Structure 1
Amino acid sequence: MKESAPMKTRRSLAWSPASLRTGAAALCTLFASACAWGPGGAPPAMPEPAHYGAQAQPAQTVAAQGVAQQFVTGAQPVPQWWTLYGSPELDALVDEGLANNPNLASADHSLQAAREQLRGQVGSSMLPTVDALGVAQRQHVPAPPQLGVDKLQYDVFAGLVRVNYTFDIFGATRLNNTALAARVNMQAFEYEAARRALAANIVTSALGAATLRAQIDTTEQLVALANAQADDVQKRYALGAASHTDLLNAQQSAASLAANLPGLRQQRSALRHALAVLLGRTPDAAPPDLDLASLTLPAQVPVVVPSALLESRPDIQAAGAALIAASADVGAATAQMFPSITLSADLGKAGFSWPMLTSGAGALWMLGASLTQPLFHGGALLAQRRAALQSYDAANASYKQTVLAAFQDVATRLAALEHDAEALDAAGTSAQTAQGVFDETNARYKLGAVPYYAVRQSEQQWRNARLDEIRYRGTRLSDTAALFQAMGQPPTSAGASASNARARAATTPARD
């Protein structure tokens, strides 16, 4: 029996299992090619130096004030390193700043907004969109002459549900979502960097204010000694026991010391005001100064190996996320040059009155598909792809520079701790020697062997040496805080885990 032509047509359009497998394989090939359109986003290979600085850091610094700081190579960063200073007041200041700083709160809200925007984009681009439409119109149109009237007036009522879905065959949507997700991750890493920088700024500001307070106290004592010395020379000059030059020298020395006080007080005021703002307070509510003598210098500091520093520094992780985003942009710009297929469907009812709309009649539906293939856009698509490639190269170079800057930062901090210890050791020896001279001179004065102004001069020398010791001690404390900050944070810390969990949740589509 001979088959009819319609039967042949139907059979030729049928999908066999083999053709389905072939189609699936073709789609997989297309998806694989879409994945390969971007550079991949892997960070460039970076050198792994044996040590950070031009010379390898020693196992420990010299002992200064009884403490030789040890460099623990290969140790993990300390999450809450400021607690190692042994000051509950300092811990409270950092906790307050992390909780109340407006800039940090603004960055946190901006990050949450970016995550919500990512959820919205993923949901709207990867899932079908469903909208309900309602129409109520009164039409007024000219009537055909054969109807015998000059116009027609009627009502139109319609209600329908519209569904649209665009197939992401070449990965443009997925790559755009990947780029946005990477930028959200970059913002999350920048937030972590800002959070740690805030803690470091609070610590260094508090340490600086405490150091200046101790310097001011010692300088005030020096000024009092200089004024007393000038008064003594004034009396001796009146008796003819001292020359006028001696009097002028004494007065000049006292005035020179007094001139140092306003500058020190201004620096302390500026630090206290800055510290208050970091804590979320007004400058008039600045916290009291810490007691410099009560602070404990951390005896051990971690030195993260260069390869691990790439995972512990939030600024490097942010640069890596920017590289992933730039790579995805290249792939998305490439995918825009290929076809896109969109399916749409409408289902509803329409009528010329409300009763007709709600009755069984007036049902309408529409099902359609559209295919768009870019043909000529004036070279815009190719230019956009070339621009994306240039942006990727820029992000690649920026990543390298960020890593090199991090290595430089750590090298500088390590060298600073070595030199701080040497300077403090020398200043401490000088202060201890000057104090010994003062004690001996004071003992000889009590025996009547020297005049009292000799005691005063030896005390001035001792307090001048003590002033240098205070300054170098404060610098050593601050540079230790800077080194802890330069080491970053442990990659497996609770904060990093929570950040990664929030980033993963941000890529899950949300239902409206």
Structure 2
Amino acid sequence: MKQHKPPVGASMLAISLCHSTRIVTDLLLSRAGSLLQLLLMGLMLSSCMVGPDYQKPDIELPQTFKEGSQWQRAQANPQGALDSQWWLAYQDPILNELIQRSASANQSIIAAEAAYRLAQAQVASSRAGLWPTVGVGLSAARGEGGGASGSTTSGLTGNSSGTIEQTVSATLSASWEPDLWGQVRRGIESSQASLQSSDALLAGVRLSIGASVATNYLGLRQLDIDIDLLQQQQTINQQLLEMVQAQTVQGTATNDQLLVAQDQLSSVITNLQTAQRSREQFEHALAVLVGVAPAQFNLPATADYRFTLPMPPPTLPSSLLLRRPDVVSAERLAAAANARIGVAEAAFFPTLNLTAEGGYRGSAFGGLFALPNRIWTLGPALAETIFDGGAREAAKQQAQASYDQDVANYRGTVLGALQNVEDNLSAINHLHAQASAYEQMYQRNQQLFGSTQAQKHAGTVSQQSVLTQQLVLLQAEQNWRDTQGLLSQGSVALFQSLGGGWQEHSAAQAGR
């Protein structure tokens, strides 16, 4: 009866594997002469990289902005969007807090950060292709072999004389494909450029969310002012309606005058309801932007809110426009596409694979690492594709077309950025003129209201005339304050269109 050895435990396997690794390493080192020569040859060949080296696409930019002739032309900037706490220019602690909350809790920013981490992992994966692959193995097999000496009529084999055979081996293997033509390095270039594009997109999402928070917040504060002024107008219109109703009863006012007074009150009520609805929607939007449910978010009204209107200096740094995250991202995508052309071209050249394997093979663990059981293989393999039906040429054409597409997208993004800046400059210029005109109208109506009050005290005008003039004054104030709100929101859009902030050192100043 044959004796069967008990199964080997995990600890015994680990000890044997470590022992075999040490012995096999010594074996490979004893053969390092020829292997070193192959490695040196591979390293020398790896100095070559096929494919075009990247050159940033040229684009013609105007010397000045059409709507801001004093501003300098935007030149190319270092890659990567500049960070700037531009919202501090509005001098509002509540706005500062909301933007900071959105930066850590907004789901769009969280998703963009995850995309950035994915791009980082892809760079690490590409770099792994430069290094050899090393593996270790430990295996055991048991089986029966031999022939049959006869058979029965039923077809069953009888009198078998097979023997039980078992094989145990411990091996260490290594393989390396030198980057002869730069295929791996071009792939690293591409993934690094994609990572930089992802970084710019993340900065763009942060800028966009911050601008959305500021725009919605300033719009909400504008509606706080409107609601307060409309409520005052509603009160005055109600008083005027009651006066006209009394005059109608007395016969000193016509029914037409009564209808007009009723319409004026109804118009103010509808405007008030519209303003209140819009304020609630702004508040809901702010809740989502800071990452909470609308039911969990509330901003008390501030009827006496004063807008801060940050304006750019007459001359701006030339690096502002092309630091925009979307422009940086588009340029980096073009760089990534250019590197992929080199990857496609490298496929036309042969590949060299260097492999080495050493270890021990025997019939039992006991005595496995004896010299007679030693095995090893070492050698290079050179391969070249002769015919692929045009697949490599098609891949190269696809890479070239992708690059041309990304270059066109980059240039289009820059032109779109120029248009965006011009639109915002135009809006701010006209809103400034409107705000100045409305302010003058408000000041004149203040004088008229004061004059009407004086006449009322003198007994030359009625209370109805005073209320009517006060109503005109409130409407003039509403027009002026609304234009200030629009101008403040327009400055946010200009901040965003320039990539955030007026100056490159604004972030450093904000942190002082």
TM-score normalized with structure 2 length:
0.82
Q: What's the offset of the Cα at 1:284?
A: 2.1
Q: Where do residues 90-239 of structure 1 align in structure 2 (5 Å cutoff)?
A: 90-122=95-127, 124-140=128-144, 143=147, 149=160, 151-239=162-250
Q: In the aligned structure 2, how far is the partner of 1:185 from the partner of 1:144?
A: 70
Q: Are residues 1:317 and 2:328 paired?
A: yes
Show the counterpart of 2:24. none
Show the counterpart of 1:42. 55
Deviation by residue 1:199-225 (Cα, 9 ceiling, x = unmatched): 211111111110111111111111221
CA-based RMSD: 3.1
Q: In the aligned structure 2, how far is the partner of 1:196 from the partner of 1:92?
A: 15
Show the counterpart of 1:296. 308
Task: Give the partner amino acid of 2:131.
Answer: L
Show the counterpart of 2:277. 266
Q: Are residues 1:376 and 2:376 paired?
A: no
Q: Which runs of 5+ in 2 are unaligned?
A: 1-33, 151-158
Secondary structure (helix, strand or coil) at the match of 1:355 reads: coil
Counterparts in 2 of 1:87 and 1:389: CA distance versus 1, 3 Å: same
Show the counterpart of 2:292. 281
Q: In the aligned structure 2, how far is the partner of 1:250 from the partner of 1:322?
A: 63
Q: In the aligned structure 1, how far is the partner of 2:314 from the partner of 2:141?
A: 74
Task: Give the partner amino acid of 2:336.
Answer: A
Contact 1:156 1:351 survives alignment (8 Å): yes
Q: In the aligned structure 2, how far is the partner of 1:457 from the partner of 1:385?
A: 77
Task: Give the partner amino acid of 1:49.
Answer: P
Counting aligned pairs with the same residue, the percent is 26
Show the counterpart of 2:86. 81
Deviation by residue 1:139-188 (Cα, 9 ceiling, x = unmatched): 34564879x84645422222211211001111111111111111111101
Counterparts in 2 of 1:185 and 1:74: CA distance versus 1, 3 Å: closer
Deviation by residue 1:316-354 (Cα, 9 ceiling, x = unmatched): 111111011100111100101111111111122222222
Contact 1:87 1:294 survives alignment (8 Å): no
TM-score normalized with structure 1 length:
0.82
Q: Are residues 1:397 and 2:408 paired?
A: yes
Contact 1:167 1:342 survives alignment (8 Å): yes
Using the TM superposition, name which of 76-85 and 453-462 deviates more: 76-85
Q: In the aligned structure 2, how far is the partner of 1:257 from the partner of 1:494?
A: 44
Contact 1:186 1:319 survives alignment (8 Å): yes
Deviation by residue 1:366-423 (Cα, 9 ceiling, x = unmatched): 2132112111112111111111110010011011001111111111111111111001
Q: In the aligned structure 2, how far is the partner of 1:198 from the partner of 1:328?
A: 32
Q: Where do residues 424-463 of structure 1 align in structure 2 (5 Å cutoff)?
A: 424-463=435-474
Deviation by residue 1:105-148 (Cα, 9 ceiling, x = unmatched): 232233123213321331x20111111222222334564879x8
Counterparts in 2 of 1:73 and 1:452: CA distance versus 1, 3 Å: farther
Contact 2:63 2:72 survives alignment (8 Å): no
Counterparts in 2 of 1:43 and 1:185: CA distance versus 1, 3 Å: same
Show the counterpart of 1:3. none
Task: Give the partner amino acid of 1:401.
Answer: G
Q: In the aligned structure 2, how far is the partner of 1:482 from the partner of 1:142?
A: 86
Deviation by residue 1:265-291 (Cα, 9 ceiling, x = unmatched): 221111111112211222123342574
Q: Which runs of 5+ in 1 are unaligned?
A: 1-14, 60-70, 497-512
Counterparts in 2 of 1:73 and 1:369: CA distance versus 1, 3 Å: closer
Contact 1:78 1:484 survives alignment (8 Å): no
Q: What's the offset of the Cα at 1:197?
A: 1.6
Counterparts in 2 of 1:155 and 1:452: CA distance versus 1, 3 Å: same
